[in-house]
């Protein structure tokens, strides 16, 4: 049995990766590293500082002033400010996809993520965990769901957070995000060759968690 297990969950926006990763991490007592939140922090910082997200040089300079801290209770701190809810807004989600195209941003955050992952028994989710961040992860999962399913999930999620939400708008934003993520030049969203595809469109959260736990158990036994 391996002493430490690293799990990489990749997939498109709103596929439920973070939710599943958090639930699995709690059950397995793994460290959860929310990589998506880290990109959202960069976008949120730029938006609040009125920095043009399309100005690569300006964004690159901005990361010099960014410190991100993730806590065991899933709180996200940007320069010591709790931004856990603010970074989940749809505008920030689109902004995260934009800034993630820049090599300087990716290099900065990938380095931070790898440092965090050295702790062992970790689970990370994102767009390029299994292909770029942790190519040697013990278990790689490519989690997908239909656009309609993902839009409904994000819609309900926003309502629960007390945020304004329109289902059709969210659907269009998800389709736009999918296109951006799969067509960007640097680390585009794609399934790692050795990743196990998991379609969650017709599954409950509990069913997805059970499938992932089963896969982790198999990885431990290898």
Task: Report strand pairing: 6-10 vs 139-144.
Answer: parallel
Task: Tell me, yes or no, whether 220 lies in a domain.
Answer: no
Task: Tell me, yes or no, whether 119 lies in a domain.
Answer: yes
Q: Is 13 annotated for ligand binding?
A: yes
What mean pLDDT comes out for the span 16-42? 92
pLDDT band at 3 (very low <50, low <70, confident <90, very high): low
Q: Model confidence over 58-84: pLDDT tens digits?
A: 999 999 999 998 887 778 999 999 999
Q: Is 146 annotated for ligand binding?
A: no
Q: Is 14 annotated for ligand binding?
A: yes
**Encoding tokens for residue 71?**
């806590």
Task: Tell me, yes or no, whether 222 lies in a domain.
Answer: no
Q: Is 11 annotated for ligand binding?
A: yes
Task: Tell me, yes or no, whether 86 lies in a domain.
Answer: yes
Q: How many CB atoms lie within 10 A of CB 71?
A: 10
Q: Model confidence over 190-216: pLDDT tens digits?
A: 999 999 999 999 999 999 999 999 999
Question: Which of the pair, 21 or 71, is modelled with greater confidence?
Answer: 21
Q: How many residues does the chain have?
A: 222
State which H helix or E strand residue 33 sits in: strand 31-34
Q: Model confidence over 101-151: pLDDT tens digits?
A: 899 999 999 998 988 888 778 999 988 899 999 999 999 999 999 999 999
Domain that holds residue 181: 6-215
Task: Tell me, yes or no, whether 149 lies in a domain.
Answer: yes
Task: Tell me, yes or no, whether 61 lies in a domain.
Answer: yes
pLDDT band at 31 (very low <50, low <70, confident <90, very high): confident
The CATH number covering residue 112 comes to: 3.40.50.300
Q: Is 97 annotated for ligand binding?
A: no
Distance CA 145, CA 161 (A): 22
123 has which bridge partners?
A: 7, 32
Residue 2 has pLDDT above 60, yes or no: no
Average model confidence (pLDDT) across the chain: 92
Residues near 70 by beta carbon (within 8 Å), at least 6 away in sequence: 32, 33, 34, 37, 38, 76, 77, 116
Please give the tally of structural domains in the chain: 1
Task: Tell me, yes or no, whether 207 lies in a domain.
Answer: yes
Q: Is 192 annotated for ligand binding?
A: no
Distance CA 54, CA 51 (A): 9
Q: Model confidence over 83-107: pLDDT tens digits?
A: 999 999 989 999 998 999 899 999 9
Task: Tell me, yes or no, whether 116 lies in a domain.
Answer: yes
Q: Is 17 annotated for ligand binding?
A: yes
Burial of 43 (0-12, 13-18, 19+ CB in 10 A): buried
pLDDT band at 51 (very low <50, low <70, confident <90, very high): very high
Residues near 5 by beta carbon (within 8 Å), at least 6 away in sequence: 30, 120, 121, 138, 139, 216, 219, 220
Check: CB of residue 173 under 8 Å from CB of residue 93.
Answer: yes
What mean pLDDT comes out for the span 46-59? 97
Q: Is 12 annotated for ligand binding?
A: yes
């Amino acid at each position: 049995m391996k002493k430490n297990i690293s799990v990489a969950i990749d997939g498109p926006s709103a596929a439920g990766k973070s939710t599943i990763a958090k639930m699995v991490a709690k059950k397995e007592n793994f460290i959860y590293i929310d990589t998506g939140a880290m990109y959202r922090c960069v976008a949120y910082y730029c938006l609040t500082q009125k920095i043009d997200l399309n100005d690569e040089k300006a964004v690159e300079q901005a990361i010099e002033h960014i410190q991100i801290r993730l806590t065991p209770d899933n709180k996200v701190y940007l320069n010591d400010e709790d931004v856990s809810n603010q970074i989940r807004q749809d505008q920030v989600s689109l902004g995260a996809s934009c800034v993630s195209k820049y090599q300087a941003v990716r290099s900065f955050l990938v380095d931070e993520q790898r440092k965090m992952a050295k702790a062992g028994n970790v689970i990370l989710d994102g767009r390029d965990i299994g292909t770029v961040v942790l190519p040697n992860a013990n278990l790689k999962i490519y989690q997908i769901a239909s656009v309609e399913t993902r839009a409904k999930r994000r819609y309900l999620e926003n309502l629960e957070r007390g945020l304004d939400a329109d289902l059709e708008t969210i659907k269009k934003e998800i389709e736009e995000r999918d296109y951006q993520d799969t067509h960007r030049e640097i680390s585009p969203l794609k399934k790692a060759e050795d990743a196990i595809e998991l379609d969650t469109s017709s599954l409950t959260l509990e069913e997805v968690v059970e499938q992932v736990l089963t896969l982790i158990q198999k990885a431990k036994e290898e």
